[in-house]
Structure 1
Protein backbone atom coordinates (compact mmCIF):
# COMPACT_ATOMS: atom_id res chain seq x y z
CA UNK A 1 0.00 0.00 0.00
CA UNK A 2 1.30 3.44 -0.93
CA UNK A 3 0.79 6.23 1.57
CA UNK A 4 1.29 9.99 1.21
CA UNK A 5 3.57 11.52 3.84
CA UNK A 6 4.91 15.00 4.48
CA UNK A 7 8.18 15.48 2.68
CA UNK A 8 10.77 18.17 1.93
CA UNK A 9 9.91 17.54 -1.72
CA UNK A 10 6.87 19.77 -1.37
CA UNK A 11 3.13 19.70 -0.82
CA UNK A 12 1.99 16.23 0.20
CA UNK A 13 -1.07 16.64 -2.03
CA UNK A 14 1.18 16.24 -5.04
CA UNK A 15 3.12 13.23 -3.85
CA UNK A 16 2.40 9.56 -3.34
CA UNK A 17 5.27 7.96 -1.45
CA UNK A 18 5.93 4.82 0.54
CA UNK A 19 5.79 5.48 4.27
CA UNK A 20 9.34 6.67 4.95
CA UNK A 21 10.80 8.90 7.62
CA UNK A 22 14.20 9.74 6.15
CA UNK A 23 14.86 11.80 3.04
CA UNK A 24 17.71 9.44 2.13
CA UNK A 25 15.15 6.66 1.60
CA UNK A 26 13.58 8.54 -1.33
CA UNK A 27 15.36 7.61 -4.59
CA UNK A 28 17.59 10.43 -5.82
CA UNK A 29 16.34 10.04 -9.40
CA UNK A 30 12.78 10.61 -8.20
CA UNK A 31 13.75 13.61 -6.05
CA UNK A 32 15.58 15.22 -8.97
CA UNK A 33 12.70 14.54 -11.35
CA UNK A 34 10.15 16.13 -9.02
CA UNK A 35 12.40 19.15 -8.48
CA UNK A 36 12.73 19.64 -12.25
CA UNK A 37 8.97 19.46 -12.83
CA UNK A 38 8.41 22.00 -10.05
CA UNK A 39 11.17 24.36 -11.17
CA UNK A 40 9.35 26.03 -14.07
CA UNK A 41 7.08 29.01 -13.53
CA UNK A 42 4.07 28.76 -15.87
CA UNK A 43 2.98 31.66 -18.06
CA UNK A 44 0.37 33.88 -16.42
CA UNK A 45 -2.53 32.33 -18.36
CA UNK A 46 -1.84 28.87 -16.88
CA UNK A 47 -2.85 27.92 -13.34
CA UNK A 48 -0.62 25.12 -12.04
CA UNK A 49 -1.01 23.20 -8.77
CA UNK A 50 0.26 20.04 -7.12
CA UNK A 51 -2.48 17.41 -6.92
CA UNK A 52 -2.82 13.94 -5.47
CA UNK A 53 -1.57 11.44 -8.08
CA UNK A 54 -3.28 8.17 -9.04
CA UNK A 55 -2.50 5.27 -6.70
CA UNK A 56 -0.92 1.91 -7.46
CA UNK A 57 0.58 2.95 -10.80
CA UNK A 58 4.13 2.86 -9.45
CA UNK A 59 5.98 2.76 -6.11
CA UNK A 60 6.72 6.51 -6.38
CA UNK A 61 4.39 9.03 -8.04
CA UNK A 62 3.94 12.79 -8.28
CA UNK A 63 1.35 14.89 -10.14
CA UNK A 64 0.63 18.41 -11.34
CA UNK A 65 -2.77 19.74 -12.39
CA UNK A 66 -3.25 22.67 -14.76
CA UNK A 67 -6.03 24.84 -16.15
CA UNK A 68 -6.05 27.56 -18.78
CA UNK A 69 -8.39 29.37 -21.14
CA UNK A 70 -7.51 30.61 -24.61
CA UNK A 71 -8.36 33.94 -26.27
CA UNK A 72 -11.43 32.42 -27.92
CA UNK A 73 -12.68 31.05 -24.60
CA UNK A 74 -11.36 27.51 -25.10
CA UNK A 75 -11.10 25.87 -21.68
CA UNK A 76 -8.35 23.31 -21.12
CA UNK A 77 -7.62 21.12 -18.10
CA UNK A 78 -4.68 18.74 -17.82
CA UNK A 79 -2.62 16.56 -15.49
CA UNK A 80 1.02 15.56 -15.68
CA UNK A 81 1.89 12.44 -13.67
CA UNK A 82 5.43 11.28 -12.91
CA UNK A 83 5.93 7.57 -12.19
CA UNK A 84 9.08 5.96 -10.83
CA UNK A 85 9.68 2.24 -10.53
CA UNK A 86 13.26 1.27 -9.61
CA UNK A 87 12.69 -2.14 -11.25
CA UNK A 88 12.06 -0.51 -14.62
CA UNK A 89 9.04 -2.29 -16.19
CA UNK A 90 9.99 -3.64 -19.65
CA UNK A 91 7.28 -1.60 -21.41
CA UNK A 92 8.72 1.63 -20.00
CA UNK A 93 12.26 1.04 -21.25
CA UNK A 94 13.44 3.01 -18.23
CA UNK A 95 12.74 3.72 -14.56
CA UNK A 96 10.73 6.93 -15.06
CA UNK A 97 7.49 7.42 -16.95
CA UNK A 98 5.54 10.61 -17.68
CA UNK A 99 1.79 10.45 -18.27
CA UNK A 100 -0.37 13.32 -19.51
CA UNK A 101 -4.16 13.64 -19.50
CA UNK A 102 -5.69 16.64 -21.28
CA UNK A 103 -9.23 17.76 -22.02
CA UNK A 104 -10.01 20.69 -24.30
CA UNK A 105 -13.20 22.19 -25.62
CA UNK A 106 -13.47 22.16 -29.40
CA UNK A 107 -15.98 23.80 -31.72
CA UNK A 108 -18.52 21.92 -33.80
CA UNK A 109 -16.44 22.15 -36.97
CA UNK A 110 -13.41 20.55 -35.31
CA UNK A 111 -15.58 17.93 -33.62
CA UNK A 112 -16.82 16.78 -37.03
CA UNK A 113 -13.42 16.81 -38.73
CA UNK A 114 -11.66 13.45 -39.01
CA UNK A 115 -8.30 15.19 -38.78
CA UNK A 116 -8.94 16.60 -35.31
CA UNK A 117 -7.52 13.54 -33.54
CA UNK A 118 -4.27 13.93 -35.50
CA UNK A 119 -4.26 17.62 -34.59
CA UNK A 120 -4.61 16.79 -30.90
CA UNK A 121 -1.75 14.29 -31.04
CA UNK A 122 0.41 16.85 -32.86
CA UNK A 123 0.03 19.20 -29.87
CA UNK A 124 1.92 16.66 -27.76
CA UNK A 125 4.51 15.54 -30.30
CA UNK A 126 5.13 19.12 -31.37
CA UNK A 127 5.63 20.26 -27.77
CA UNK A 128 8.08 17.43 -27.04
CA UNK A 129 10.01 18.21 -30.22
CA UNK A 130 10.09 22.00 -29.86
CA UNK A 131 11.35 21.74 -26.28
CA UNK A 132 14.18 19.43 -27.31
CA UNK A 133 13.17 16.49 -25.15
CA UNK A 134 14.80 13.08 -25.45
CA UNK A 135 12.33 10.24 -24.95
CA UNK A 136 11.25 6.76 -25.99
CA UNK A 137 8.16 4.50 -25.94
CA UNK A 138 5.76 7.36 -26.70
CA UNK A 139 2.15 6.27 -27.09
CA UNK A 140 -1.38 7.37 -26.39
CA UNK A 141 -4.90 8.05 -27.65
CA UNK A 142 -6.95 11.04 -28.74
CA UNK A 143 -10.75 10.93 -28.52
CA UNK A 144 -13.22 13.54 -29.77
CA UNK A 145 -16.74 13.36 -28.36
CA UNK A 146 -19.97 15.33 -28.51
CA UNK A 147 -22.80 15.48 -26.02
CA UNK A 148 -26.28 17.01 -26.01
CA UNK A 149 -27.97 18.40 -22.92
CA UNK A 150 -31.71 18.40 -22.32
CA UNK A 151 -34.00 20.33 -20.02
CA UNK A 152 -34.76 23.95 -19.30
CA UNK A 153 -31.33 24.70 -17.82
CA UNK A 154 -29.31 22.64 -20.28
CA UNK A 155 -27.21 25.39 -21.83
CA UNK A 156 -25.24 25.18 -23.98
CA UNK A 157 -27.29 22.45 -25.63
CA UNK A 158 -24.27 20.81 -27.29
CA UNK A 159 -20.71 20.39 -26.08
CA UNK A 160 -17.71 19.04 -27.96
CA UNK A 161 -14.53 17.85 -26.27
CA UNK A 162 -11.12 16.47 -27.17
CA UNK A 163 -9.43 14.12 -24.71
CA UNK A 164 -5.74 13.29 -25.06
CA UNK A 165 -3.93 10.58 -23.10
CA UNK A 166 -0.24 10.07 -23.68
CA UNK A 167 2.80 8.64 -21.95
CA UNK A 168 6.52 8.44 -22.63
CA UNK A 169 9.81 7.53 -20.99
CA UNK A 170 12.22 10.47 -20.59
CA UNK A 171 15.84 9.83 -21.49
CA UNK A 172 17.18 13.21 -20.35
CA UNK A 173 19.17 13.35 -17.12
CA UNK A 174 16.78 15.99 -15.78
CA UNK A 175 13.20 16.79 -16.76
CA UNK A 176 13.05 20.57 -17.22
CA UNK A 177 12.53 20.19 -20.97
CA UNK A 178 9.64 17.80 -20.34
CA UNK A 179 8.06 20.30 -17.94
CA UNK A 180 8.33 22.97 -20.63
CA UNK A 181 6.73 20.58 -23.10
CA UNK A 182 3.75 20.15 -20.77
CA UNK A 183 3.31 23.93 -20.66
CA UNK A 184 3.64 24.10 -24.45
CA UNK A 185 1.00 21.39 -24.82
CA UNK A 186 -1.44 23.43 -22.74
CA UNK A 187 -0.71 26.56 -24.76
CA UNK A 188 -1.26 24.75 -28.07
CA UNK A 189 -4.54 23.17 -26.93
CA UNK A 190 -5.89 26.50 -25.68
CA UNK A 191 -4.64 28.47 -28.68
CA UNK A 192 -2.54 30.78 -26.54
CA UNK A 193 -0.28 33.17 -28.49
CA UNK A 194 3.49 33.25 -27.99
CA UNK A 195 4.53 34.80 -24.69
CA UNK A 196 4.52 38.60 -25.00
CA UNK A 197 2.03 38.67 -27.87
CA UNK A 198 -1.49 39.92 -27.17
CA UNK A 199 -4.48 38.61 -29.09
CA UNK A 200 -7.77 40.48 -29.18
CA UNK A 201 -10.48 38.07 -28.08
CA UNK A 202 -13.77 37.84 -29.96
CA UNK A 203 -15.59 39.29 -26.94
CA UNK A 204 -13.21 42.25 -26.72
CA UNK A 205 -13.51 42.84 -30.45
CA UNK A 206 -17.29 42.86 -30.18
CA UNK A 207 -17.17 45.39 -27.35
CA UNK A 208 -14.90 47.66 -29.39
CA UNK A 209 -17.23 47.51 -32.40
CA UNK A 210 -20.12 48.56 -30.18
CA UNK A 211 -18.31 51.63 -28.79
Structure 2
Protein backbone atom coordinates (compact mmCIF):
# COMPACT_ATOMS: atom_id res chain seq x y z
CA UNK A 1 0.00 0.00 0.00
CA UNK A 2 2.87 2.41 0.75
CA UNK A 3 4.00 2.14 -2.87
CA UNK A 4 0.68 3.72 -3.93
CA UNK A 5 1.16 6.85 -1.84
CA UNK A 6 3.41 8.78 -4.28
CA UNK A 7 0.90 8.06 -7.05
CA UNK A 8 -2.01 9.16 -4.85
CA UNK A 9 -0.08 12.28 -3.92
CA UNK A 10 0.53 13.18 -7.56
CA UNK A 11 -3.14 12.64 -8.33
CA UNK A 12 -4.10 14.94 -5.45
CA UNK A 13 -1.92 17.73 -6.83
CA UNK A 14 -3.16 17.12 -10.39
CA UNK A 15 -6.77 17.45 -9.18
CA UNK A 16 -5.93 20.62 -7.26
CA UNK A 17 -4.19 22.08 -10.31
CA UNK A 18 -7.23 21.36 -12.48
CA UNK A 19 -9.41 23.09 -9.91
CA UNK A 20 -7.18 26.19 -9.89
CA UNK A 21 -7.12 26.35 -13.71
CA UNK A 22 -10.91 25.92 -13.93
CA UNK A 23 -11.68 29.08 -11.93
CA UNK A 24 -13.21 32.05 -13.76
CA UNK A 25 -12.82 35.65 -12.66
CA UNK A 26 -14.65 38.95 -12.96
CA UNK A 27 -13.77 40.99 -16.05
CA UNK A 28 -12.00 43.63 -13.92
CA UNK A 29 -9.30 41.11 -12.94
CA UNK A 30 -6.99 39.59 -15.53
CA UNK A 31 -5.51 36.35 -14.18
CA UNK A 32 -2.76 34.35 -15.85
CA UNK A 33 -0.76 31.30 -14.86
CA UNK A 34 2.89 32.14 -14.19
CA UNK A 35 5.99 30.15 -13.31
CA UNK A 36 5.83 29.01 -9.71
CA UNK A 37 8.89 29.29 -7.49
CA UNK A 38 10.57 25.89 -7.44
CA UNK A 39 12.23 26.19 -4.06
CA UNK A 40 9.14 26.33 -1.82
CA UNK A 41 7.70 22.85 -2.34
CA UNK A 42 8.11 19.76 -4.56
CA UNK A 43 5.04 20.80 -6.59
CA UNK A 44 3.38 24.17 -7.08
CA UNK A 45 1.21 26.26 -9.37
CA UNK A 46 1.07 30.07 -9.41
CA UNK A 47 -1.28 32.75 -10.70
CA UNK A 48 -0.81 36.48 -11.27
CA UNK A 49 -3.77 38.82 -11.10
CA UNK A 50 -3.91 42.44 -12.27
CA UNK A 51 -6.87 44.79 -11.82
CA UNK A 52 -7.77 46.46 -15.12
CA UNK A 53 -4.26 46.26 -16.62
CA UNK A 54 -3.17 48.65 -19.36
CA UNK A 55 -3.70 47.01 -22.76
CA UNK A 56 -0.31 48.15 -24.06
CA UNK A 57 1.92 47.41 -21.06
CA UNK A 58 -0.06 44.77 -19.19
CA UNK A 59 0.63 46.66 -15.96
CA UNK A 60 -2.03 47.79 -13.51
CA UNK A 61 -2.11 51.12 -11.69
CA UNK A 62 -4.97 49.82 -9.54
CA UNK A 63 -3.69 46.65 -7.92
CA UNK A 64 -1.95 43.34 -8.42
CA UNK A 65 -1.58 40.00 -6.68
CA UNK A 66 -0.08 36.52 -6.71
CA UNK A 67 -1.55 33.17 -5.67
CA UNK A 68 0.67 30.12 -5.16
CA UNK A 69 -0.57 26.65 -4.29
CA UNK A 70 2.21 24.53 -2.79
CA UNK A 71 2.12 20.74 -2.45
CA UNK A 72 4.46 18.66 -0.34
CA UNK A 73 3.45 15.02 0.21
CA UNK A 74 5.77 15.05 3.25
CA UNK A 75 3.16 17.24 4.98
CA UNK A 76 5.42 19.77 6.75
CA UNK A 77 4.46 20.10 10.40
CA UNK A 78 3.77 23.84 10.10
CA UNK A 79 1.32 23.22 7.27
CA UNK A 80 -0.69 20.51 9.02
CA UNK A 81 -1.29 18.80 5.68
CA UNK A 82 0.08 18.39 2.14
CA UNK A 83 -1.06 21.79 0.77
CA UNK A 84 -0.23 25.40 1.60
CA UNK A 85 -1.40 28.59 -0.08
CA UNK A 86 0.83 31.65 -0.27
CA UNK A 87 -0.64 34.93 -1.50
CA UNK A 88 0.34 38.50 -2.15
CA UNK A 89 -1.87 41.50 -2.90
CA UNK A 90 -0.85 45.13 -3.38
CA UNK A 91 -2.59 48.36 -4.29
CA UNK A 92 -1.83 52.08 -4.31
CA UNK A 93 -3.90 54.29 -2.04
CA UNK A 94 -4.74 57.92 -1.48
CA UNK A 95 -2.27 59.31 1.06
CA UNK A 96 -5.04 60.02 3.58
CA UNK A 97 -6.16 56.39 3.48
CA UNK A 98 -2.56 55.19 3.78
CA UNK A 99 -2.16 56.95 7.13
CA UNK A 100 -5.26 55.32 8.65
CA UNK A 101 -4.03 53.41 11.74
CA UNK A 102 -6.60 50.64 11.12
CA UNK A 103 -5.71 50.05 7.47
CA UNK A 104 -3.57 46.94 8.08
CA UNK A 105 -6.27 45.41 10.29
CA UNK A 106 -8.93 46.13 7.67
CA UNK A 107 -6.85 44.52 4.90
CA UNK A 108 -6.39 41.35 6.98
CA UNK A 109 -10.09 41.26 7.88
CA UNK A 110 -11.00 41.51 4.18
CA UNK A 111 -9.00 38.36 3.49
CA UNK A 112 -10.55 36.47 6.41
CA UNK A 113 -14.04 37.62 5.37
CA UNK A 114 -13.42 36.62 1.74
CA UNK A 115 -12.34 33.12 2.81
CA UNK A 116 -15.34 32.68 5.10
CA UNK A 117 -17.83 34.13 2.58
CA UNK A 118 -16.60 31.67 -0.06
CA UNK A 119 -16.83 28.76 2.38
CA UNK A 120 -13.09 28.13 2.10
CA UNK A 121 -11.91 25.83 4.89
CA UNK A 122 -8.54 26.95 6.24
CA UNK A 123 -6.19 26.63 9.19
CA UNK A 124 -2.83 27.98 10.34
CA UNK A 125 -3.35 31.38 8.69
CA UNK A 126 -0.45 33.81 8.97
CA UNK A 127 0.46 37.05 7.29
CA UNK A 128 1.65 40.62 7.31
CA UNK A 129 -0.02 43.81 6.17
CA UNK A 130 2.36 46.61 5.28
CA UNK A 131 1.35 50.17 4.55
CA UNK A 132 3.80 52.72 3.19
CA UNK A 133 3.53 56.45 2.66
CA UNK A 134 6.09 58.15 0.42
CA UNK A 135 6.95 61.52 -1.03
CA UNK A 136 9.12 62.22 -4.07
CA UNK A 137 12.08 64.61 -3.93
CA UNK A 138 14.61 65.89 -6.45
CA UNK A 139 14.02 64.34 -9.85
CA UNK A 140 11.13 62.37 -8.33
CA UNK A 141 9.37 65.51 -7.07
CA UNK A 142 6.67 65.12 -9.72
CA UNK A 143 5.71 61.78 -8.13
CA UNK A 144 4.27 63.77 -5.22
CA UNK A 145 2.90 61.92 -2.23
CA UNK A 146 1.41 58.47 -2.32
CA UNK A 147 0.63 55.42 -0.25
CA UNK A 148 0.43 51.68 -0.74
CA UNK A 149 -1.00 48.66 1.05
CA UNK A 150 0.56 45.22 0.70
CA UNK A 151 -0.77 42.02 2.21
CA UNK A 152 1.22 38.80 2.28
CA UNK A 153 -0.55 35.77 3.69
CA UNK A 154 -0.41 32.00 3.83
CA UNK A 155 -2.71 29.30 5.11
CA UNK A 156 -3.42 25.61 4.78
CA UNK A 157 -6.59 24.84 2.77
CA UNK A 158 -9.26 22.21 3.24
CA UNK A 159 -10.05 19.82 0.42
CA UNK A 160 -11.60 22.27 -2.08
CA UNK A 161 -9.11 24.74 -3.59
CA UNK A 162 -11.44 26.79 -5.82
CA UNK A 163 -12.94 28.87 -2.98
CA UNK A 164 -9.45 29.90 -1.91
CA UNK A 165 -8.60 31.13 -5.40
CA UNK A 166 -11.83 33.13 -5.47
CA UNK A 167 -11.18 34.61 -2.01
CA UNK A 168 -7.72 35.76 -3.14
CA UNK A 169 -9.20 37.32 -6.29
CA UNK A 170 -11.78 39.14 -4.19
CA UNK A 171 -9.05 40.48 -1.90
CA UNK A 172 -7.00 41.84 -4.81
CA UNK A 173 -10.06 43.66 -6.15
CA UNK A 174 -11.07 44.94 -2.71
CA UNK A 175 -7.63 46.46 -2.12
CA UNK A 176 -7.90 48.11 -5.54
CA UNK A 177 -11.20 49.69 -4.56
CA UNK A 178 -13.51 47.24 -6.36
CA UNK A 179 -15.72 45.44 -3.84
CA UNK A 180 -17.89 42.46 -4.83
CA UNK A 181 -20.74 43.50 -7.13
CA UNK A 182 -18.84 46.46 -8.59
CA UNK A 183 -18.01 44.82 -11.93
CA UNK A 184 -17.84 47.46 -14.63
CA UNK A 185 -18.05 50.37 -12.18
CA UNK A 186 -15.61 53.18 -12.96
CA UNK A 187 -12.68 53.69 -10.63
CA UNK A 188 -12.15 57.39 -9.92
CA UNK A 189 -8.63 57.89 -11.23
CA UNK A 190 -5.61 55.77 -10.53
CA UNK A 191 -4.52 56.04 -6.93
CA UNK A 192 -0.90 57.04 -7.20
CA UNK A 193 1.75 55.48 -5.02
CA UNK A 194 4.87 57.58 -4.79
CA UNK A 195 8.07 55.65 -5.33
CA UNK A 196 11.44 56.54 -3.97
Q: Displacement of 1:198 after TM fit?
A: 4.8
TM-superposition CA deviations, 1:19-52 (whole Å, max 9, x none): xxxxx69701111111111111111111111111
* Higher RCO, 1 vs 2 (CA within 8 Å, ≥6 residues apart): 2
2:85 is matched with 98
TM-superposition CA deviations, 1:153-194 (whole Å, max 9, x none): 54322221111010010112x311112112211221122244
The 1:74/1:30 distance shift into structure 2, 3 A limit, reads: same
Does the alignment pair 1:161 with 2:148? yes
Q: Using the alignment, how far apart are the partners of 1:128 and 1:74 within structure 2?
A: 25
The 1:201/1:186 distance shift into structure 2, 3 A limit, reads: closer
1:135 to 122, 130, 133: 122
Q: Using the alignment, how far apart are the partners of 1:158 and 1:89 within structure 2?
A: 43
Q: Name the TM-score, length of structure 1 as normaliser.
A: 0.76
- Structure 1 segment 63-74 matched on structure 2, within 5 A: 63-69=46-52
2:74 is matched with 87
Q: Using the alignment, how far apart are the partners of 2:67 and 2:49 within structure 1?
A: 8
1:14 is matched with none
- Structure 1 segment 47-196 matched on structure 2, within 5 A: 47-69=30-52, 75-152=62-139, 154-172=141-159, 174-195=160-181
TM-superposition CA deviations, 1:82-107 (whole Å, max 9, x none): 11000000000010000001111111
Q: Using the alignment, how far apart are the partners of 2:50 and 2:75 within structure 1?
A: 31
The 1:88/1:128 distance shift into structure 2, 3 A limit, reads: same
Q: Structure 1: where are the runs of 5+ without partners?
A: 1-23, 204-211
Alignment: residue pair count: 177
User: After the TM superposition, which of the residue ranges 188-197 and 158-167 deviates more from structure 2?
Assistant: 188-197
Q: Displacement of 1:199 after TM fit?
A: 3.2
- Structure 1 or 2, whichever has the larger Rg, is 1
Q: Structure 2: where are the runs of 5+ without partners?
A: 1-6, 54-59, 190-196
2:110 aligns to what SS in structure 1? helix
TM-superposition CA deviations, 1:46-99 (whole Å, max 9, x none): 1111111123111111100010049xx961110000110000000000100000
8 Å Cα contact 2:26/2:183 also seen in 1 = no
Q: Name the TM-score, length of structure 2 as normaliser.
A: 0.82
User: After the TM superposition, which of the residue ranges 57-66 and 181-190 deviates more from structure 2?
Assistant: 181-190
1:21 is matched with none
8 Å Cα contact 1:43/1:195 also seen in 2 = no
